[in-house]
Structure 1
Amino acid sequence: MSWALARVGLVASILLLATSLAAGSFELGLPIACKPGLDCWVIRYADHAPDDGFADYACGRLGSNGHDGTDFGLRDARAMLEGVAVQAVAAGVVKAVRDGMPDQPADGNLAFDFKDRNCGNGVLISHADGWQTQYCHLHPGSLAVSPGENVLAGQRLGLVGMSGEANFPHVHLSLRHDGQSIDPFNDTPMNAACGTEGHPLWQPSLRSQLAYVGVPIVSVGLADHVPAHGEIVAGDAMNESLAPDRPLVAYLLAYGLATGDRIALEIAGPDGGKVATLDFQVDDDSPRLSRSGGRKAPTQGWPPGLYHVRATVSRGQTTWSLDGSRSLNER
């Protein structure tokens, strides 16, 4: 090997090492106290499209034009009311806070004018080496920190809410380095093309939990009626107990649906026998979609016990599914 080639190889190795060290110098914890895929989901990602369209880092459709961060969402507004902490992803100093803006209605309709305060109630934190994080849409009155306060990684900042431009309960996390928006899933700026290889900034223990899911199914359930979309978003679809003489209706709530996707809802009885199988085709691209269907009660009524529901979304050879169950008791 020539000296020139050896020198080039050495320089490349040094640059790679420097890049790896830089990438590993700032690691992120979760901005929300939850278990991804179980009681919270990544619903929207940063936009990497160069035009008026949208593409997340995996070249998927989870987000909207110009979206500059990552949205960690809860199942529904009822889960939000249980009180889910928003937490600092890394140690730093609180630079600014905002509180006092109301949550939007639980059914997901934007009723309160947020003007230019899309973030709603939020917290801005500065970290070492030019890093900065911003946390948006916190529940009013829940902020637990003040400007100038030092915070630790994992420290509670407030509670998940729906303030500002929020039609579902979530925390929006924006990450910046020297003022430039960075995607934490591959440590690239928003102007980098989707599919660009990079180093995830999440702590190693979180990376498998935060693996990309093209269609997050966040809610499945059984109701005694066909629930309205707003009921499902609010978490009110199962307010009434199941009864032997009432219908059994399965439903789902999912994000990132595309034209041509297939949705299947399956209901099984206490003995494992099939109660109903329903199939739907998605006719239009849908950032968020609910579907429901089921069966009327038989003449003799439904037998008591635990009923199961499975929701599946199929796109070509790829499928996503979520299971749920609910008890039906004798009157």
Structure 2
Amino acid sequence: MNRFTYEKAQDVPSAVEAAAKSPAAQFIAGGTNLVDLIKENVARPERLIDVTRLPLNQIEERPGGGLSIGALVTNADTAYHAQVERRYPLLSKAILAGASAQLRNMATTGGNLLQRTRCYYFYDTGTPCNKREPGAGCGALTGNNRIHAILGTSEHCIATHPSDMCVAMAALDARIHMTGPQGQRTLPIADFHRLPGDTPERDTNLQPGELITAVELPPEDFSQHHAYLKLRDRQSYAFALVSVAAALQLDGDTIRQARIALGGVAHKPWRSPEAEALLVGKPATREHFQTVADALLQGARGHGDNTFKIELARRAIVRALSRAAGLEPHS
């Protein structure tokens, strides 16, 4: 573990200013991912800026009817918030499917968005990893890659994004609010996380010194027909091999709108609006769900140990959509 300085920010402008002074500065709140990375010598910050005192821990109504979740709201408080449970139950269920109760009590909305991608080789400093050390090579490509990505990969990285919360937020079209040295800006969650490409060391499009302040959920109503399906090696406290956040709006049995996001299969939550559009105006049937599953998985490629994920994801998509449509019970 390297030496670093530690300070507590008193407000958002001072936090951003402190981060701008050092390229190796990092914000810390719950620390459920960052502390592990520091212990493993994967993250080596020169300066830690504690943001837990900032006024970013509220869930508030938006003027247009949406909901704003502050960056410092814990995962537990989000999952059990009355408005989230009533209006965005997909998000509540996804959060409760992740981690453990103890971690959810500490982990924050902003920290969850910034979880580093999951890979054995990324966490093991004795093995090559382009994400940890650009140009070193990717040990997972020819190594143990059972948990790794099947979509959006590159020759430089096949790691997967670990968050359950982000998969649901991707399906709900959340927007990320940030403040940095250049002022405030907002990104759709689809543009927040990155695919590895030639720069696998960059997980997000967050700029240096930028601080996430809130996540905004739009007012669209997917509260009636939704499902979060997480397939994993054990029932609790395990990352997803494949997860599916499915949300539908129905007129009778006809699909008016569909949202589907996948977790455990790519470097970011995976969505395809083009595939979702195949369901619009169609009856909610397993046959149509199988068609959209094939479209979502177009281009999927296994790397040996993880090839099974392609068929697993196909079946998971059909099952999640069937549950969302009420064709089979939720377990």
Q: TM-score if structure 1 supplies the norm length? A: 0.30
More strand by share: 1
Name which one, 1 or 2, has greater alpha-carbon Rg. 1
Q: TM-score if structure 2 supplies the norm length? A: 0.30
